[in-house]
Amino acid sequence: METVAGPSGEHKRNRNNSLQQKQQQNRKNFQHKKRPATKTYQRENDVYITSKTHFKAQLKQCENLLNSGIKDIYLHCLGNSITRGINLALTLVSNSGGALFYEANTSTIELIDEFHPLSDDGDLSIQKRMNSALHIKISRAGDFIID
Amino acid sequence: MTKNLSYDADDGGETKIKQSYVQTFQYAAANIKEMDELVNEIKNPTSTKLIFQSLPKHMRRRAMSHNPKRLPRKYRVKHKSQMAKAGNPTTTKRPSRKFRRKPSNLMKEYTRRQRKNVWLETHIWHAKRFHMISKWGYKLPFASCDKTYRACYRASAKHCLLQDISFLNCIEIIGSLENIKTGFEKLTSSKCGLGITAKTFISGRREGFVTLFKKDQYPYQCLGKVSFLWKSGINESERVLWVFVHPSFYRNVLKELFDVFDLKKIETFSENELLFNRINEYQGNGVCLRELKDTLNRFRLTGPLSQAILSKVMIPFLKEDEKNKNWFQDYSKNNSFKVQNSFWEEVKDCNSPAELLSNMILGLVVEDFRLQRPKKRTKAVPIDAKNPSFEALTNPSLELPETPLWNHELRKKISENFISNHILNEQRNKTLLVPGEQCLFEKNLQPIPVLLIQRPGSQNNQLKRLGYSAGWDVLVPSGYGLSLWLSLVMWGCRPGGIRETHMVNKEFGSATFLPDTISGKQEISETGEALKQRYFQLPPNKRCNYSKFAISSPFKPSLSKLVNEWSGSDNFYILRDIQLLRQLESNAFPREIIEYHKNSLIQVCLQMKTRGNPKDLAIICIPTKNDLRKHFKTMSSNDPVYTEPLKIDPFEEERKILKSSHKKLLKRLRNRRVRQKRMQQKTSCERVKIAPPKTSAIIKEQFDKMCDLWVPRSPSSIRNQCSREVFGYVTQSSFCLSEGRVTAVGYVTPQGLNKIMKDKRNPEMLLLVRGTNTRHYRFAKFKVNIDV
């Protein structure tokens, strides 16, 4: 099994030719399969944002969490769903009438892709890929914390 | 005149008895006849009354005739004989519950019931909670008696769904790599993807799947898809392979293997042996084959929490016991044992099994499952997720799949040394100090080798959420099935049955059985027959008139006729060529399909564009220019694209005539019988009854004719059955909980698909779909399924 270093954030622009060739070959002789990203935190106040879920439903999920007495919630967004996460956070804050505020934090998440061979003599190869992630903490403003 | 009237001569009587007296014996003789008659009268009463009817009113009881115990005891024998004469079936007495529940009698009863259908080890557990069905020679749990459809979906998506799939039959093949390869090359095709001897599988690190065909018949005569795993080993001259075959085509696969490897039976079991000892062995062409049918338990865990649950149940056996010499002594000294334990320690706190290497195999030797149960049913959740090392996730050691489970003798020994719950509890009773705590002796329960096989679930985020339906398969030696099952359930698995297998496949957007495989054909004909029966059980005015709706095959997808009309061939198959399917997936239509695969059908996954569920057996059609134009005009509307005009039923009049003539015929026959009866009555002094009708043959013939007039058996055309050109069939369509909309799986002809993909007016590549009991056509999008 061979490990191919994937295009990470910085190196994206200046990939060298050999890597490009290798990738093209990968596309032809291999089947590209993805593994899901690790959900590191799974506390009850962690919400993982997807771009597929209905926006209103996600908003309601966050509001319900906040209304249930939790002080702060964390929205984790990865890649495509970052815009969705920002929208969600801004909507939540603007709907709250000053009761909520947000803090944002960015990070880079490691993703693992598998290239499954299409011919009998090939072996499975692995690619490490980086993707941007955004973690938004939405918490109650000081005056609104009830203990 | 006075006389001494004393008769007695001793008293001095002198009166002499006159000769006119009657002698006693004469008197008795005279009466005998009368008494005889009286006795005869009592013994053989001429009255037609039954014995219980002769009782006085106050002694009569309800249901006396059925239950002789309600009669006075002296009449019972008589009553029983009367009942027997009347020809009423005498109900034999059911043995008492106490007798029936005796362990020995219970076992006898169970073995009797297992003669027809094989039971799984968890059968009794399931039979108490599930609807059981007889299928593929097994008695299998279909679905829980509770309403758990949605709960099972949630379990498969977010928690853990547990299924017993021990009915998958294992075949062990031993031989040189070369021999096995050449044999299987005849049954498989390299075009369908990786073969059985692909480099990534022979190391034994991953489980593989392969589609089997009849010998040299590819692409026709598909048997079905099987999974396999290799025993890791470097020695190429003796490799061991396990193939797991679905029981619906197990016999066919075995037959093909006999043919390919030229196998002869060498060893067989005796009927008295325990189920897990019954192993047939065959030898031939440098290959040895063993049927390990029903000797292994395989449980399927689906869902992200399966990782957490297994981490609770599978605790590596670490105890060093120098006193007892057993297999574990040797095995624990191996390097692989340590590697496996440290690997499991590292990855067991993963959030989902999908994060590991796909289809990886992991052997473990674990403590008895019965010791790993919570006191109350508890949901296992991952504790503080540790991120495993990149190495463990991507390039696990080659020693992981090694397991003593491959050794037949050892498996047998482990199954035989299983300490039953009864003995375990008895021992606990003796030695237990603190209730609910572990006893010292429980540490000495034998270690159990298990094999864990990962299933990656969805790996393409275009088709389905990544990681959906990921999980683990667990292989354990026979005997330990129920104890593992109970431990898993106690840690929060939700048990499911056959219905849940279909459900997971449906949610995944794939079909359980393809229509050109043996099991697929069987399924289609069974459901078709059931639908037909249901349809003709309805009164005519409640039946949907399919001829008016222009549906020619409402009970089963008539795929062979469809292919025949598109390509002129009678046979069809499902396209499995992975390179062509990959091109189709990237929206390019390769010319080779039309040239070389014109008799094929392509599996597509459909998603409705608007509302509506077309239901199973809907037709897939090509939209016309006007349909597409209308679609762009009314994009947001939920209205149907086009409504099929109501057709005239050509057989309506004929049915009416047939019905009335049939009624007339029956009437005439009856009148004839009545006339005959009257004629006979004239000459007879007894009452003559009317002769039985004996018209069942006529009625059946009429019914068949009627059925044919309702739904013609051989429709004139499938392709042109309605105003839109039909080029495919939907085989399963339902609301998909993972997508929140209706999705369906269908099969289309390549020629029709080419038309759609080439149509410049149809950039979205929309298809028309119409259900069997509607005239509305609706648009659907499609995706080509690669993993068929």
Q: What is the pLDDT of residues B108-145, one digit of tens each?
A: 888 888 888 889 999 999 999 999 999 999 999 999 99
Report how far residue A124's alpha carbon sits from residue A118's, in angstroms, rounded to the nearest whole number. Answer: 10
Most B CBs within 10 A among A124, A126, A130, hence the mutation to make, goes to: A124
Which pLDDT score, from 0 to 100, does residue B274 have? 62
Measure CB to CB from residue A42 to each of B206, B351, B395 and give the nearest one: B351
B736 min Cα distance to partner chain A (Å): 14
Of B357, B358, B385, the CB nearest to A42: B385
Please report residues of A whose CB lies closer than 8 A to that of B193: 118
- pLDDT given at position B185: 92
**Helices and strands of chain B, counted as H and E runs:** 26, 24
Amino acid found at B601: L
Nearest to B576 by CA among B113, B327, B221, B91: B221
Alpha-carbon distance B145 to B142, whole Å?
A: 9
Count other Cβ atoms within 10 Å, centred on residue A26.
16
C-alpha B323: how far from chain center: 47
Q: Classify strands B169-175 and B287-291 as parallel, antiparallel or unpaired.
A: antiparallel
Contacts of B195 in chain A (CB under 8 A): 120
Count of other CB atoms within 10 angstroms of residue B765: 14
Q: Is B266 helix (H, G, I), strand (E, B) or coil?
A: strand
CA B80 vs CA B48, B91, B429: distances in Å: 16, 11, 52
Residue pair B725/B621 in contact (Cβ under 8 Å)? The answer is: yes
**How many Cβ pairs within 8 Å bridge chains A and B?**
85
Angle at CA of residue B26, ends B21 and B30, nearest 5°? 115
Residue type present at position B707: C
Record: contact A33-B199, CB cut-off 8 A: no
pLDDT over 70 (residue A25): no
Contact B395 A3 (CB under 8 A): yes
Token pair listed for B186? 């005849």
Which site among B350, B357, B389 would you substitute to test the A interface, given the most A Cβ atoms closer than 10 Å to its Cβ? Answer: B357
Number of domains in chain A: 1
**How many helices, marked H, and strands, marked E, lie in chain A?**
3, 6
Three-class SS state of B408: helix
* Strand ranges, E, within B38-179: 118-119, 130-135, 138-144, 161-164, 169-175
Residue of chain B nearest A37, judged by CA positions = B355
Q: Decide which of A123 and B322 is more confident.
A: A123
List chain B residues with CB under 8 Å of A109. none
Which residue do the tokens 């008769």 mark?
A: B7
Mapping DSSP to helix (H, G, I), strand (E, B) and coil, where does residue B187 land?
Answer: helix
- Report CB contact under 8 Å: A121, B395: no
Complex prediction ipTM:
0.84
The residue of B181, B351, B356, B464 whose CB has the most chain A CBs within 10 angstroms, and thus the best one to mutate to test that interface, is B351
Tokens 């309605």 belong to: B722
The partner residues of B472 in beta bridges, in order of sequence, read B301, B454
Residue A147 has pLDDT above 60, yes or no: no
pLDDT attached to residue B271: 58
Tokens describing residue B450: 């298990």
- Report the CATH number that the domain containing residue A133 is assigned in CATH: 3.30.110.20
Task: Give the residue carrying structure tokens 């027959």.
Answer: B529
Please name the member of B352, B395, B459 whose beta carbon is closest to the beta carbon of A33.
B459
Mutate one of B184, B197, B199, B356 to test the A interface: name it (highest A CB count within 10 A): B199
Range of the domain at A59: 2-144
Element (H, E) at B756: helix B750-758
Residues of B contacting chain A (CB within 8 angstroms):
190, 193-195, 197-200, 206, 350-352, 354-355, 357-358, 381-382, 385, 387, 390, 393-395, 456, 459-461, 465-467, 470, 578-579, 582, 740, 786
CA atoms of B754 and B291, how far apart (whole Å): 45
Q: Which residues of B touch A3 (CB under 8 A)?
A: 394-395
The span from the CA of B25 to the CA of A72, in Å, is: 121
For residue A35, which residues of chain B lie inside 8 Å, CB to CB? 354-355, 358, 456, 459, 466-467
Who among A33, A121, A126 is closest to B460 (CB)? A33
CA B412 to chain centre: 28
Q: Across the interface, do B459 and A1 touch by the CB < 8 Å criterion?
A: no
Nearest to B358 among A1, A33, A119 (CB): A33
In single-letter form, the type of residue at position B587 comes to N
Using CA of residue B744, residue B750, residue B752, residue B756, what is the dihedral sign?
positive
What pLDDT score does B604 carry? 94
pLDDT per position as a tens digit, B364-378: 999 999 988 998 999
Q: Which residue of A has its CA nearest to B387?
A: A40
- In the block, tokens 């603007």 appear at A94
| DSSP run (H or E) holding B277 | none
Smallest CA–CA separation between A14 and chain B, in Å?
A: 25
Q: Which of A3, A35, A41, A76 to mutate to test the interface with B (most CBs of B within 10 A)?
A: A35
pLDDT bin (cut points 50, 70, 90) of residue A8 is very low
Q: Which residues contact B6 (CB under 8 A, 6 or more apart)?
A: B12, B13, B14, B15
Task: Calculate how close chain A gets to B185, using CA atoms only, in Å.
Answer: 12
Among the partner-chain residues A35, A122, A128, the one whose CB lies closest to the CB of B199 is A122
Out of A40, A52, A120, closest to residue B198 by CB? A120
Measured between alpha carbons, how far is B773 from B498 in angstroms, rounded to an integer?
28
- By the 10 Å C-beta count (0-12 exposed, 13-18 middle, 19+ buried), B554 is classed as buried
B456 contact residues in A (CB cutoff 8 A):
33, 35
Structure token pair of residue B249: 């085509």
Q: Does domain B528-648+715-784 have CATH number 2.40.30.110?
A: yes
Q: Where are the alpha helices (DSSP H) in B634-749?
A: 652-683, 696-710
**pLDDT at residue B382, rounded to an integer:** 82
Q: Which residues contact A67 (CB under 8 A, 6 or more apart)?
A: none
**CB-CB under 8 Å, B466 with A35:** yes
8 Å CB contact of A33 and B382: no
Residue of A nearest to B738 (CA): A53
pTM, 2 dp: 0.84
* Positive or negative: CA dihedral B470, B476, B478, B481: negative
Q: Which of B771, B780, B779 is nearest to B551 (CA)?
A: B771
Q: How far is B724 from chain A (nearest CA, A)?
A: 34
DSSP state of B385: P
Q: What are the mean pLDDT values of chain B's consecutive 10-residue runs (788 residues total)?
A: 56 62 82 89 76 84 83 86 73 83 85 85 94 93 94 94 94 92 92 90 92 92 94 85 94 92 77 66 87 90 94 87 72 87 89 91 92 90 77 84 89 88 89 81 87 93 89 93 94 95 92 92 94 94 92 92 91 92 88 89 92 92 90 80 91 93 95 93 87 91 93 89 94 91 94 91 91 93 89
Cross-chain Cβ contact B579/A118 below 8 Å:
yes
Q: Are B241 and B197 a contacting pair, CB within 8 Å?
A: no
- From residue A104, give the alpha-carbon distance in Å to each of A90, A107, A140, B72: 11, 10, 15, 92
Mean pLDDT for chain A overall: 83
